[in-house]
Each structure stands twice: as structure tokens, then as C-alpha cells.
Structure 1
Amino acid sequence: MPKILIIEDDTAFCQMLQKFLTKNGFEVSIGFSIKEAEEHLASSTFDLILSDVRLPKGNGVTLLAQVKRDSPKTQVILMTGYAEVKTAVNAIKEGAFDYISKPFTPEAILGVIKEALKTQVVETQKAVEPSKKVPIEEKKPVGFLKGQGEKSKKLQQYVELVAPTNMSVLLTGESGTGKEVTANSIHLASKRSNKPFVAVDCGAIPKEIATSEFFGHLKGSFTGAIDDKKGHFEAANGGTLFLDEVGNLSYEHQVQLLRAIQERKIKRVGSTQEIQVDIRIIAATNENLLEAVEEGDFREDLYHRLNEFSIEVPSLRDRREDILLFADYFLARANTELDKNVLEFSEETKNILQKYDWPGNLREMKNVIKRAVLFSPTETMFPNALADEVVDGANKEHEVNFSKSDFERERILSALKQTNFNKSKAAKLLQVTRKTLYNKINQYQLDV
């Protein structure tokens, strides 16, 4: 039975949450302050801690740092009535599994807790058997799913090819295509799979603290440095450092990053001591870094360091054979997270999902399916549960395709009439081969 510790100064809310989670099969302890949390942690080990951010004489982010230092396998979820984006980002960067804003439904927090405990089980199993060689199919990170189409097979082939090496990998592709999941799958299929995988969003790091974030700092080295801190390079030592949106780094930090990658040595801010690091770099971008190099915004030497092996993660509209496969996967996840039981898509819903262009790729699909599951009252999902922009987008795409077909049909008939139905001359006029023209005539069932 998983053990959960709730730290919440709202007594009534805390006890209500305890009762709900106990009914759902958890062993739950509660505390109302940082001091009570420390007393619980001194006498017991917990699988998960659910803590309010704002607490008497302290806060949940401070508690998070202590928990991650003393019990790294314990998952931490922070909750607050103050939806502060900066606090959320810092909490995730410091090791929180997730961050949830009040008010929330009991079902919502239950879904987040289940996901956190599921992730913990995967990590624990890896730690118990670090020397056991596991096939790549069994080492999927949470959220990783192989497609069956040609583009997906090519992606998987590249992952399997480069994973056993120590080559730096540059992942390119549109936003939302799953570049971090791909990076994680490379890590889990590598010889470093039992070492840390540290993901860093380069676009979310304020320029003023980027050096500290990457390389760490000593206590007192600058205002606000109240403790010694490891940077991302040290945290990933022995494993893989994933640099997402690497093109967002300032020129100054590109220089620092290049030096660290070349020398495999770093210095914490405020220290003169060099620290040796052994890491593999996987970087990702949705920009054209070559253009950035030509314009002088990105260092060419860093680009070549990062691009020892390049993989383009395809967009969802280029993986149409896999759309329903991914949709089924996100349907199952949404059912778990929302405690629902939507078992299938109606045929009309399937058609809409396949016709829609998915500009936000897999990230958009995940959100669309989750919302639709919430709005589905039956075991079958119908189109009225989907967001209007998805339904309208699919219909618009269909209308555009229909118009193009009509235009092409009329253009072929016009060319045939102009050439007195001489197919060789018509093909020349249309600037296509005779074979293509014959195929189009058959496709549009033209009686000529």
C-alpha cells in the first residue's frame, strides 16, 4: 500500500483529502506545518508527498529541496491557491513531479498521484537491476509510443542506431512533436540508462541565472545563493543532459556550454575548483539552427558539437497512419487521469481526428483527447465532445481538398478539349507524364 504524506495548513481540506485518498487504497499521514512534515520524515519514509506551497514558517519548495536531498525516490506534488507560473517552473526544475492549482477535484489529484507513483515504480525497477540488459521495447519512458507508419519506423530506426553510442544528437522538428520523449528513449536504450536523464528547457532559464543553473554555485557567491547548489551538468553526471530549445541560449552562454562540452569540466559559480563530468548531450530545437549560424545568432562550432548525429522528429500530419494509434494511447491515459471509462471513438470521431491537421502535434492531441474524455458521458466518444476548432478544422481541410480536386478535374478536361482529346498533347500541356494523366483520368472517372 503506497504511503502518502499530506502537508496542508487548511485543517478541514487536509482531513477531507486524507479521507478520500484512504478510500482509494493509500496509507495517508497528515501534517499542518513544515515542522510537522520534518517530524514525519524523520520517523518514516513515504512514496509520495503532497504539500501546499504556502505553509506557516516555510514553504513547500523549501521542503521539496530537503526531500529530494534525503529521499530522492520520494515523489513530490505541490499544490497552491496561487497559480504562479514562476513558482511552478522552479518547482519542476527542483524535482517536483507536478504542480496543481486549487481548487481541484479529487479525481484530478488522484490522476496526478497515480502518474507519479507509476513513474516511481519504473525508476525503482531500473535501480534494482542496473546491470540487466533490457530490450528497448521494455525501456520506454512514460509517454513513449512507437508508431507503425514509415516515418515512425524511420525515427525508431535512428533511435536504435545512435542510442548505444556516445554521439551528441540534435533533434529537430516542430513544437509538440515529442522531442523530449525521443531524447528519453535514446537515453533508456543507451549504456547510460541506469544513470540520470536531466531535461533542461533553455528557453525557460532567465539569462541572469543561466550559468548557475548549468554549472551550480557556492553558498554566498551572489545575492540569493543561500546554499551550495549542483547545476544541471553535475546532476546529469554519468547520464544524459537534454537541452531543449537550445537555440534560445544567449551568445555568452553558448560559449560557456561549448567549453564545458569540449573539456568535460565545469566550475561552480564562486569556485576555482574544476569538476570532471561524464555526460552525453542531446539537444533539440524547432528553429533552423543553420540559418541562425549564418545570421550570427548561433555559434557554428557549438552547432557542429551538438550535431554529431541529427534526427528529425516528424510532425503528426506526416504520421497520419499513426493518428488513431496515438489517439487510442491518449484516450487510455486520459481515462486513468480523469477516472473515466471512455472505451472507443465513434467512426465519425475517427474521421475528424484523421482529417484534422494537428498544428500542435502530439501535445495538442493529448490535450484535445483529455478534454473530450472529460466531456464524454458514454463509453463512446462522439464528435460533440471534441473542441469546435478541431471539428471545424477537419471540415475546412476536407472542403479545401474537395475544391482542389474539382479544380484539377476541370483543368484536365480543359486540356483534353484544347488538344482535341489527344492525350499525349494534353499531358504536355499539363506538364505531366502520359502515365500520370491516365491515372488522373481513371481517378476522376472521366469518360474520354
Structure 2
Amino acid sequence: MNKKILIIDDDTSFSLMVSGYLAKNEMETTTAGSFYKAKSLIDKEYFDLILSDHRLPDGSGLDVLSYSKSKNPDIPVVLITAYSDIRVAVNAIKKGAYEYITKPVNATELLHIVQRALKSNSHSTSLSNDYIVSVGSQSKEMDEHIRLVAPTEVAVLIQGESGTGKEYVARRIHELSHHRQDPFVAVDCGALTTEIASSELFGHEKGSFTGAVDDKIGHFESVGKGTIFLDEVGNLSYNVQIKLLRAIQERRAHRVGSNKEFPIKARIIAASNDDLRQKAKEGGFREDLFHRLNEFTIHVPPLRNRSDELPTFINHFCNEAAKEFGKNIHGFSDEVMEVFQHYDWPGNLRELRNVVRRSVLLSKNEWIGIEAIPPEIAEPLSMQPSTLIKYTEAKEIAEKKLIEETLRKVKHNKSKAARLLGIDRKTLYNKLQKLNIDY
């Protein structure tokens, strides 16, 4: 049976072009020109994948993502966005989008992402060989912590910004653990509404609530002695946090609508891009649950703090993409590598991987030049050295002003300031010293 794709875009010609291309690849497509029309279709039909433009006449791609997740969290949503909206795309990934594609859309890139999304399974995925062991100082320390905690039964909390690779770290822990032969189940807590979270985690009995037409086995029951990875655990509602805490304490739980308990044997790994300790102190997360999940913490640093490791990641993603696209690529030119080193990578490793894959796909040469790099990243290269220095100075001035304003807003609470700025406390302190900010 052909896969059903919902394409949401108010640009009719673009929708028809994408629809025609996917139809040639044996996919059934339906189009909608607005968020309102898309909601109506999502209510009436099942789609294997949703492809949505970010800018819609009566909403946005984030609205589509939220609505789709509330109806069926398993359906992958791919966002189409302009380069200028890259931070929006990163936020969409944080909220549960499968992937994003930047305009102008390359047909081959689109097909690869769509096919990968259709093959994905948000509940259970096989072991990963994609964990990159780097020689960088921060990665070496992180890898030591992973190897130290993996053979134990200690609950691990992974902290890091969106796109830094927290799930890869969780998989690495699983692969090095005594649970490696059992399932690894990743649960996107950010995509779970209060209404469905208990059902997804613990299952339900037929007829226990409206829409429960069949019995359902929850993740904790299905994973058995494997590893359950609770991504963005800080987004769980207070009531679900209580149920999760009780299940962890008693190592037993029951399906919604049932009094029969089942044992919980899984290794639990949680992750958050928030400062969960601070969130617990402020009452946004149960402190007792935080301590249950945080028997051991692993911090995944943002890519902007790992400049010494950047070439390793670039080479890995380049080789991966060259193999996927069947291209003979040796790597990136020195000119491009210099540009990459000066870019701050707000989307972290996820953004880097997307940029490298797109560049490999577009390149016509064995060495990838500046012409294959997204304009927003390549732009600073066209500046003369003197202009580049002024640009850097201007960037630092703007950054200093932003940090100072943020500190004033939160009355110089460093944890709150770091969270609002999307960086960790250590990075904030480094910037305070570097920019000579009085704190």
C-alpha cells in the first residue's frame, strides 16, 4: 500500500510540484493550503507523514506540529522553512518535528528525508552505530562518564541544548550496558499531551476513556528489561510526573483503566534541554522525581564550545552523506572549513548534519566549495578581513547588550539568565568574563 503524505502550503504551484514528485515515487499525496484545512483533513484521515510549510495564512508549521501530535504523536512531521527561520526550525525539532528542510527545496534531498521519516519508528529503534567518539577534550570526558555509568543500573539524566545529540548519548549508554540485547525505546515527552501521556507510558484497557477502542501496551511494559529513554522529560505534566515517580519508586505500574499491575524492569535514562535542577527548585518539576532521575548526570556541550571537534563531526557526516547519495566526495575546501569554524551553529549537531548533507548533495566537485554552502553561513566569507573584524566586534556588542538586558530582567539570577539565553551556566560565566560584563 502506498504511503499517504499530507502537504500543507499556501503556494499551490509548490504543493503541486512536490505532490507530483512524490507521486512519481509511489506515494499518495493530499494537499492543504491552510492550517484550518489541514486540521480538517487530519481529523478525518490517517497520514503516514505530514510535510508543512512554516508560514501559513492562518497559522504556522508549529501549529500543525502541535495539532498533529495531539491527535497522533507517532506521525512524523517535516517542516519546510526559509534560511532566515532556522531558529524556528530548531525550535520545531525541540517540540517534536522529525526534521526540517530549507527553501529552495532540492527534490533529491526532499525524497531522502521523506523516505527516512517514513521508515522511522518513534517508539522503538534499533541500536545505533552513529555515536561519534571524538578526540576533543569535552567529548573524551563525556565518553569516560558514559563508559563509567553504562554497566550500572543507575538512572542517568542527560542535559544539553536541542540538537546536541542527547539521544545518541542515551543509545551509547544502552549499547555498553547489560541491557544491550534488549529493546531501546525513545519516548518524546515533549510531544505527549497530558491526556495521552499516561496511555503512552503505561498503556490502557479498551474502553477506559473516549477513543480507547483497543487494549494498548505502554512503553514501560513493552520495553521489558531494555532501556527506556525519556527525552525532554521536563515537559511532562504534574499529574504524569506523579505517576512516573510512583512507578519508579515501586517498580510497578498499571495500565489506565486496569487494577492489574505489571513489573517495571527497564533501565531509565532521561534527558532535558532545560536546567532541570533549577526548574525543580522553582516548582516547575517535582524535586523528588528529579532526584530519582538524576542519580548520575551527563552534560552534552553545545557545538559552539567544541570547535576542536568540529572537523571530526564534519568528516563523519560528509562520509555518511557521500555514501548515502553515491557521490565521490573528498571533503570541504579550506575556505569552507574556515567559515564553519566561525559559525555559531545554533542548531548544534543536527544543524551541522543537515548543512553537510545538503552540501554533499549539491556539490558537483570532489571538494565541496563555498557555492554549495547555505547563504547565511557563507555570507561572512565575502567580507574583506577588515570588514570581518568589524562584523565580529558588532556581534560581540550585540551579544553583550543582550546578556546585560537579560540579567536585568531576571535580577541577575544567573541560572534564569542562562536558561533564557539558551546556554548553560558555565558558558554564561565565560561570556561574562570575555565581554567584561559586571555581575
State the TM-score bracket (shorter-chain normalisation). Answer: 0.5 to 0.7
- Aligned-residue offset at 1:210: 1.2
**Matches of 1:81 and 1:117, distance apart in 2:** 15
Q: Deviations over 1:76-98 (max 9, x none)?
A: xx4578886455897773899x9
- Aligned-residue offset at 1:358: 1.3
Does the C-alpha gap of structure 1 residues 233 and 398 become closer, same or farther in structure 2, counting only changes over 3 Å? farther
> What is the 5 A alignment of 1:317-356?
317-356=304-343
Match of 1:200 in 2: 187
- Aligned amino acid, residue 219 of structure 1: K
SS in 1 for 2:216: coil
1:254 paired with 2:254, answer no
1:388 paired with 2:375, answer yes
Does the C-alpha gap of structure 1 residues 341 and 211 become closer, same or farther in structure 2, counting only changes over 3 Å? same
CA contact (8 A) 1:176 1:360 kept: yes
Does the C-alpha gap of structure 1 residues 284 and 82 become closer, same or farther in structure 2, counting only changes over 3 Å? closer
SS in 1 for 2:378: helix
- Aligned amino acid, residue 227 of structure 2: T
- Aligned-residue offset at 1:143: 2.7
**Matches of 2:329 and 2:208, distance apart in 1:** 54
> What is the 5 A alignment of 1:109-124?
109=111
Match of 1:42 in 2: none
**Matches of 1:174 and 1:310, distance apart in 2:** 14
**Matches of 2:234 and 2:3, distance apart in 1:** 40
Match of 2:389 in 1: 399
Match of 2:258 in 1: 271
**Matches of 1:227 and 1:118, distance apart in 2:** 24
**Matches of 1:400 and 1:185, distance apart in 2:** 43
CA contact (8 A) 2:99 2:113 kept: no
Match of 1:171 in 2: 158
**Matches of 1:184 and 1:241, distance apart in 2:** 10
> What is the 5 A alignment of 1:179-328?
179-328=166-315
Does the C-alpha gap of structure 1 residues 243 and 373 become closer, same or farther in structure 2, counting only changes over 3 Å? same
Does the C-alpha gap of structure 1 residues 249 and 393 become closer, same or farther in structure 2, counting only changes over 3 Å? farther
CA contact (8 A) 2:314 2:352 kept: yes
- Aligned amino acid, residue 297 of structure 1: G
Match of 1:362 in 2: 349
CA contact (8 A) 1:202 1:244 kept: yes
SS in 1 for 2:228: strand
- Aligned amino acid, residue 203 of structure 1: G
Q: Deviations over 1:336-364 (max 9, x none)?
A: 44444433101101111122111211011
Among 56, 67, 74, the alignment partner of 1:93 is: 74
- In structure 2, stretches of 5+ residues that fail to align are 6-19, 29-43, 54-63, 78-96, 395-439
Q: Deviations over 1:252-308 (max 9, x none)?
A: 111111001111111101101111120111111111112112211111111110110
> What is the 5 A alignment of 1:15-30?
17=25
Identity percentage over the alignment?
42
**Matches of 1:142 and 1:92, distance apart in 2:** 26
Q: Could you tell which deviates more after superposition, 87-96 or 314-323?
A: 87-96
- Aligned amino acid, residue 389 of structure 2: E
Match of 2:426 in 1: none
- Aligned amino acid, residue 280 of structure 1: R
- Aligned amino acid, residue 390 of structure 1: I
**Matches of 1:106 and 1:298, distance apart in 2:** 43
Could you state the TM-score of these two structures normalised by the residue count of structure 1?
Answer: 0.63
Q: Deviations over 1:182-229 (max 9, x none)?
A: 001101110001111111111111111111111110111111111110
Q: Could you tell which deviates more after superposition, 81-90 or 260-269?
A: 81-90
Does the C-alpha gap of structure 1 residues 203 and 7 become closer, same or farther in structure 2, counting only changes over 3 Å? closer
**Matches of 2:377 and 2:109, distance apart in 1:** 26
Among 135, 140, 146, the alignment partner of 1:153 is: 140
- Aligned amino acid, residue 187 of structure 2: V
- Aligned amino acid, residue 175 of structure 1: S
- In structure 1, stretches of 5+ residues that fail to align are 19-29, 32-57, 62-77, 125-139, 405-448
Q: Could you tell which deviates more after superposition, 310-319 or 376-385?
A: 376-385
Aligned CA RMSD, in angstroms, stands at 4.1
Does the C-alpha gap of structure 1 residues 172 and 14 become closer, same or farther in structure 2, counting only changes over 3 Å? closer
**Matches of 1:385 and 1:99, distance apart in 2:** 24
**Matches of 1:376 and 1:311, distance apart in 2:** 37
**Matches of 1:60 and 1:194, distance apart in 2:** 34
**Matches of 2:196 and 2:373, distance apart in 1:** 42
Does the C-alpha gap of structure 1 residues 262 and 81 become closer, same or farther in structure 2, counting only changes over 3 Å? closer
**Matches of 2:155 and 2:256, distance apart in 1:** 26
Task: Work out which of the two has the higher radius of gyration on C-alpha atoms and give 1 or 2.
Answer: 1
Does the C-alpha gap of structure 1 residues 222 and 91 become closer, same or farther in structure 2, counting only changes over 3 Å? closer
- Aligned-residue offset at 1:401: 9.1
- Aligned amino acid, residue 174 of structure 1: E
> What is the 5 A alignment of 1:57-136?
78=48, 85=65, 87=68, 93=74, 105=107, 109=111
Q: Tell me the number of residue pairs that the alignment of Structure 1 and Structure 2 aligns.
A: 332
